[in-house]
Structure 1
């Protein structure tokens, strides 16, 4: 019983472990230098503005959290200029009002943070450090609304200015506006922009990634999945092995009976070495039955395939006389994805598969291809 309880607790306990950061050393160094520079520029200019002998606070501690967002997560919606400037300033104003009108700092701090979150949601400037600023203002008992202008507003403006310059110089788009880049082509995608909007509405939570970045990331993931599932598949993996075949001299009635018995629509025609010389299909038999001139299809087909027994005959007697001689084949080692245009654009329905010696080893039909594509893209594949 104890063992079972421990097993059931493992997933819960594992959820407290930090996830692996999928960020390279160069990006970490870039964020480290950027955060330091941003705070340094903001501090030096704010201190100069306040004056060397000023006792007024000229730098707020929650700005360190803003620096993390601006320089380490410049693509985050929470790190954009309006959330930094608007979120910090509005939260400071709310904190000041609570410090003035609510005597108990515990109640004042709780109400300030709650109203700051609500205001940032309403003004579309959600910025986590804003909550820290609202609480900081209450605990510091800042009761002058001037405090929201200096140092909060000035600090935020300087941080954004440093972020724009540094991120641009180091190859990061900032501000990172929505739909600033052209979305990936979705002609073959399994989801559209509208589908993503529906999913986000159902998710109904704040995501620390912009919508256009999320869409691009999902398209890249989908492309990687296609390449993983389809890129490695070869014709030999999906073909029907030991396919039925006939030879040039096989009588038409034998070939037709074989196709009807096995419910297939094509038979490769091979020579004695199993090399392909043609292919005979249902369409080839239909042409011989001259259906345009007759109304009884069954009778016409029986007459077309019936043996005459004569040495010479006016109508075709063997497969070689009606087969299609130009046959598109594919090597067993070729990638399956190369078959898609042959079926979808060139009108093929059956592709014989040959080995390195050009001998028939299999056949792939449209059904085989569709089945392989479905297996490759179905959920859980």
Structure 2
């Protein structure tokens, strides 16, 4: 309890992420102010930067994956809200009433424009009682400085996140699709919960969550996988892998690789270099119309360590393309190989064991 204040306040938050956010906000706000000062000049009649930019910076740099922190949310939300505030104060001269109406209409306008952004409420309030500088700017205020501030901040945030190797603007990972050219969903989506289950749950809870729906789907599936890995953590790759692995040298002709696939009735063939280190894999897909050396048609190999939980290979072996995972040491020497069949057999054995345990308890 003594260190409760140091517990991350958001899921996934770490000290490193917060430090990155602090540095980003410092750079973003400082440069936005400096550039606006150079471009717009300074003086009491020209607002250099509006206060809502500070709140926008918190979202932009601290939670860049939030739907509320995306470029259109920041630019559209701040600009539209400020415009709403200017319009309201033009017609409603009672300050208390004007503030309530301005924030209320700002939320409605941002919702219709699909750019909901919390600092937009502050932008609307700033337009209502921002002082002589805002009054003198009139209907120009939503665009200069609000829109200019917002555009500059987003541009600087985009550059900062690229340098920090963060995903911004955030795009939710697309749902997996069948790799066989059919309308069937991929194997990993045919079991467990479905997208309509997520919609039904959200409808039942009757709450708004600050997370993209596709991100929520991906998160829940990862939770399912982690739970399975935890439940069967004692089953390691080394427990079920094949150890007598058939491989081919990268300098060998493709005809030799084809023959090895047929002779041993396998679908994936590891490719090694002169030092017996793994460089990739080949299968009938790569070899069907190939010629020359095997090394020219290799695909990137799916690999794992012998000490990794076997169930962690499920996403790879159910992606519709990978038929085997190569087990390697830290120098990329082949230790073994796990196929879809190996993992299926292990899963069936675990399920039978679980059933027997459950019957024994009864």
TM-score of the aligned structures, taking structure 2 as reference length: 0.59
Matched, 1:137 2:131: no
Determine the C-alpha separation between the residues in 1 that align with 2:97 and 2:66.
Answer: 31
**Structure 1: how far apart are the matches of 2:343 and 2:128?**
70
- 1:238 alignment partner in structure 2: none
**d(CA) in 2 for partners of 1:33 and 1:112?**
33
Match of 1:102 among 80, 89, 92: 92
- Structure 2 Cα separation of the partners of residues 179 and 194 of structure 1: 18
- The counterpart of 1:57, out of the listed 33, 40, 47, is 47
Structure 1 residues 51 and 223, CA gap change in structure 2 (3 angstroms)? same
Aligned equivalent of 1:37: 27
Q: Deviations over 1:178-210 (max 9, x none)?
A: 445869973475222332233233334332222
Q: Contact 2:60/2:70 (CA < 8 Å) preserved in 1?
A: yes
**Aligned residue runs from structure 1 range 137-216, under 5 A:** 137-140=127-130, 142-143=134-135, 144-179=138-173, 186-187=188-189, 190-216=192-218
Residues 260-299 of structure 1: matches in 2 within 5 Å? none
Q: Specify whether residues 49 and 25 from structure 1 end up closer, same or farther in structure 2 by C-alpha distance, changes over 3 A only.
A: same
Give the CA deviation at 1:62.
1.0
In 1, Cα distance between the equivalents of 2:17 and 2:158? 17
Is 2:118 the counterpart of 1:118? no
Indicate the structure (1 or 2) with the bigger Cα radius of gyration: 1
Q: CA deviation at 1:372?
A: 5.7
Aligned positions of 1:9-88 closer than 5 A: 20-21=7-8, 22-53=12-43, 55-88=45-78
| Shift in alpha-carbon separation, 1:108–1:36, aligned structure 2, 3 A | same
Alpha-carbon separation, structure 1, partners of 2:44 and 2:57: 25
**CA deviation string 1:221-274 (max 9, x = no partner):** 21111112232489xxxxxxxxxxxxxxxxxxxxxxxxxxxxxxxxxxxxxxxx
| 1:295-335 Cα deviation digits (max 9, x unpaired) | xxxxxxxxxxxxxxxxxxxxxxxxxxxxxxxxxxxxxxxx9
In the other structure, the counterpart of 1:251 is: none
Change (3 A) 1:367 1:64: same
Is the CA contact (8 Å cut-off) linking 2:42 and 2:48 kept in structure 1?
A: no
SS in 1 for 2:127: helix
Runs of 5+ in structure 2 lacking a partner? 178-185, 237-308, 312-337
SS where residue 218 of structure 2 aligns?
Answer: helix
Offset at 1:336?
Answer: 11
Cα deviation per residue 1:155-200 (whole Å; 9 max; x = unaligned)?
A: 0000110111001110111111244586997347522233223323
Contact kept? 2:78, 2:150, Cα under 8 Å: yes
Cα distance, 1:137 vs structure 2: 1.2
The alignment's TM-score, normalised by the length of structure 1, stands at 0.56
For residues 22-79 of structure 1, the C-alpha deviation after alignment (integer angstroms, 9 at most, x for no partner) is 5222211110000011101110111112114563112001110000000110000000
Distance 1:372 1:152, change over 3 A: farther
Distance change in 2, residues 1:18/1:182 (3 Å): farther
Contact 1:90 1:120 in 2 (8 A): yes
- Unaligned 5+ segments in structure 1 are 1-13, 235-334, 352-363, 375-381
Q: What is the count of residue pairs matched by the alignment?
A: 243
Distance in 2 separating the partners of 1:372 and 1:122: 55
Alpha-carbon distance in 1 for matches of 2:175, 2:24:
24
